[in-house]
Amino acid sequence: MTAEVLDQERRVGERKWRRRSLWSLVLLIPLALGVEAYDSVKALLGDNDLFARRVAWGQSTHFGGSDWKLTDLRGAFGMSNLPPDSVPVLADFQVKVGDPDLQHLWLGCKVMLIDKDGRRWSPTSIVSLKTTDKVETCVSAIFSGAKSGDTLNLRETFLVPKEATKSIRPAVSVAGERPRFLLFQLEKD
Amino acid sequence: MLESARSRLKAWIVAGVGTAAAIAVAGVLGAFAARHEPLPALAPAGRIETGQWLLRPLKAYATAEKYTYGALLRPGGKALVLELEMTNRTAKSTKDYFDLLQASQKTVDPATKPFIVLTRDSTMSPELHPGMPERMAYIWQLPDGAAVPASFNLTVISKTYKPRDNLYGLPGWFNPTPIGTMTIPVGAGPDGADMQP
Amino acid sequence: MMMRKSANTILLLVAVAFCYGLQVSKPRYGDLIGPIPARGKLGDTVVGRGFEVHAEKIEFARKLTVDQYGQSKVLTTGGVWAVVTVEFAARAQSTVVSVASWRGPTGLTYDQTERLSFMNGLLPVALDPGLPRKARLIFELRPDEVSNATLLVSEKLVAALDSQAEISLGPVTVAADGLPAGTVDMLDMAQPL
């Protein structure tokens, strides 16, 4: 008699635990997927420019260990030998170097232009405008050996269709800050 | 104690007989035949097939010109030139011919990589296309002060096709293996006639 | 009893056949990460993930003339030259298209020639959104690989999980000399596109 009761009790307890285990799967499976996917998601985010941080005209912003400021964005009209309806666009930045470890912080440095439809232009090699000023590109600045407190003048050249010149805004991203990137606003915004 | 020693002895005997049988079977199947066989001598005037290439040596000569088919030689140096017809036997354009021919150490310093040139317009190591024979030149810089040999030895190296490699599961040519050697007479200059089969 | 035994045997055989079928049809890693085709034909605009391509025309020639460092140079071939004029456009982002090959009717694949690497208007071409660009794709072909071929264009050499434009080029008639009909003796690559 007592053995039967004991058996009954054990069975109820077993059933209870089985149910608990099943319910815990609801939690454990998503958790396991999350842990598995963590590195991939991190790599994906670190490879894409997703979240824009807007910088008002004339403002300077701390990004990738340095202070970035857009100083000029202008078209170089009237050049010959270019595809029809295209305009070279120059974007000038002034960067006050904070952390001088640029080779690490500015890795994969990307300057681009983004228009209102989200189209993105990378610097071009078709146009190269000669200049007398001492300017560097983002990539050459990495190896310039700049020290903390130095001011770097960066210039990137783009080739953009005429119809897009009204709405383009310069943007900057570096590996250390992705998926965030800087989106500079112009004076008229 | 005695019992266990006897059973151990029995196990040793069984294992030994098994090993001997395995070696004997492997020997019968030819596992050791490949070990000592010397490389076959290939006829230089014939057609030589490797996995990827069909080769037909045409002529070899030494030159002291500054430029040979656009390849710049060390000033004052001499070079050994082998011209041959190469046909890509694979289904894709390829330039996997850098390890195809190895000049013997007696003639050429093994660290010297040859220039490989398309003789048609002196393009340096272009891809060759499937089923299109082209005349190519292998140009080895000779060691400084070395005399031009009357003939030289070449080892031909072939690769095998794997439909799936072990790393990426993609097709490719692997495992370079020498398939034969040949001796090619060295002519006086670039104007000599081609070898005929 | 006999019935049960033969039923079991049949079931076993079916299971073996099924497993074998699964094993044979299992896609390989190379197939899984291969390029994703975007198909079209001559004259279509083929739209891939990062770029668009439109093959305008094909010309065949026995010889090409090119300008090399200001000097005119004639390039001969053991087969026939095929010159495809294409227009590329970038989509949402600036990109570079760098690989093109010609897959003949028997599956032989001819990469773009490397003998004109000094010339403008060849791949790789950099593309910016809103600024379509023309380019020439130049191949050296066996005359018997000309008809019913497919042009393959992709941004990178290993187009793993990325678009590859596959443009079917249609039949080409062969003239009496074995070369494609309309093959010209000389084509001048210095002409603007």
One domain, residues A35 and A66? no
Mean pLDDT over each residue of chain A, to the nearest integer? 90
Interface of A with C in 111-130 (CB under 8 A): 112, 118-122, 124-126
pLDDT one-digit tens code per residue, A48-65: 899 999 999 989 999 989
One domain, residues A107 and A158? yes
Residue A171: C-alpha distances to residues A6, A42, A55, A146 (Å): 73, 22, 10, 22
The pLDDT of residue B148 is: 87
pLDDT by position in tens, chain B (length 197): 556 777 888 888 888 888 888 888 877 777 666 666 788 888 888 899 999 999 999 999 999 888 888 888 888 888 999 999 999 999 999 999 999 999 988 888 888 899 999 999 899 999 999 999 999 999 999 888 888 889 989 999 999 999 888 887 788 999 999 999 999 999 888 888 888 87
Interface confidence (ipTM) of the complex: 0.86
The CA distance from B130 to C108, in Å, is 7
Residue A2 lies in a domain: yes
Question: Residue C108 is nearest to which of B91, B120, B121, comparing CB atoms?
Answer: B91
Residue A164 lies in a domain: yes
The CA distance from A20 to A81, in Å, is 74
Residue C113 in contact with partner chain B when CB distance is under 8 A: yes
- Chain B residues whose CB is inside 8 A of the C68 CB are none
Our CA dihedral for A105, A110, A113, A119, rounded to 10 degrees, sits at: -120
- Chain C residues whose CB is inside 8 A of the B169 CB are 28-30
A136 or B29: whose pLDDT is higher? A136
Mean pLDDT of C31-59: 93
A78 or C170: whose pLDDT is higher? C170
Closest-CA residue in chain A for C121?
A126
pLDDT one-digit tens code per residue, A87-117: 999 999 999 999 888 888 898 899 999 999 9
Please count the other Cβ atoms lying within 10 Å of the Cβ belonging to residue B168.
Answer: 14
Chains B and A touch (3+ CB pairs under 8 A): no
One domain, residues A31 and A57? no
A127 band by pLDDT with thresholds 50, 70 and 90: confident
pLDDT one-digit tens code per residue, A13-42: 899 999 999 999 999 999 999 999 999 999
Q: What is the CATH number of the domain that holds A91?
A: 2.60.40.1240
CA distance A7 to chain C (A): 39
One domain, residues A75 and A15? no
One domain, residues A22 and A73? no
Residue C109 in contact with partner chain B when CB distance is under 8 A: yes
Domains identified in chain C and CATH numbers: 36-188 (2.60.40.1240)
Interface test with C, best of A81, A86, A112, A121 (most C CBs within 10 A): A121
One domain, residues A37 and A96? no
The pLDDT of residue A38 is: 95
Beta strands in B35-126 (DSSP E): 48-49, 53-63, 67-68, 71-72, 79-88, 101-103, 115-118, 123-124
- Chain B residues whose CB is inside 8 A of the C114 CB are 123, 126-127
Residue A178 lies in a domain: yes
Residue A189 lies in a domain: no
Our CA dihedral for A102, A105, A107, A108, rounded to 10 degrees, sits at: -120
Interface test with B, best of C80, C108, C118 (most B CBs within 10 A): C108
One domain, residues A125 and A38? no
The pLDDT of residue B31 is: 67
pTM exceeds 0.80 for this model: yes
The pLDDT of residue B20 is: 87
Query: Which residue range(s) make up the domain with A21?
Result: 1-45
The pLDDT of residue B13 is: 84
Which residue's entry shows tokens 């596992």?
B31
Residue A38 lies in a domain: yes
Closest-CA residue in chain B for C114?
B126
Contacts of C180 (CB under 8 A, 6+ apart): C60, C80, C143, C146, C147, C172, C173, C174
One domain, residues A158 and A130? yes
Question: Residue C92 is nearest to which of A85, A120, A163, comparing CB atoms?
Answer: A120
CB A53 within 8 A of CB A61: yes
pLDDT one-digit tens code per residue, C121-168: 788 999 999 999 999 999 999 999 999 999 999 999 877 889 999 999
One domain, residues A12 and A34? yes
Total domains in the fold of chain A? 2
One domain, residues A28 and A104? no
Please report the sign of the dihedral spanned by the C-alpha atoms of residue A25, residue A27, residue A28, residue A31.
positive
Beta strands in A57-96 (DSSP E): 61-63, 66-75, 86-96
One domain, residues A10 and A89? no
Question: Residue B92 is nearest to which of C29, C109, C114, comparing CB atoms?
Answer: C109
Q: Where are the alpha helices (DSSP H) in chain A?
A: 2-45, 102-105, 138-142
Of A131-135, C56-60, C97-101, give the lowest mean pLDDT range: A131-135
Residue A18 lies in a domain: yes
One domain, residues A129 and A165? yes
Residue C101 in contact with partner chain B when CB distance is under 8 A: yes
Question: Residue A161 is nearest to which of C92, C93, C131, comparing CB atoms?
Answer: C131
The pLDDT of residue B72 is: 85
The pLDDT of residue B165 is: 87
Look at residues A179, A53, A154, A181 and name the one whose alpha carbon lies nearest to residue A97. Answer: A154
Residue A97 lies in a domain: yes
CA distance B139 to chain C (A): 19
Residue A74 lies in a domain: yes
CB B132 within 8 A of CB C78: yes
Q: Enumerate neighbours of A (3 or more CB pairs within 8 A).
A: C
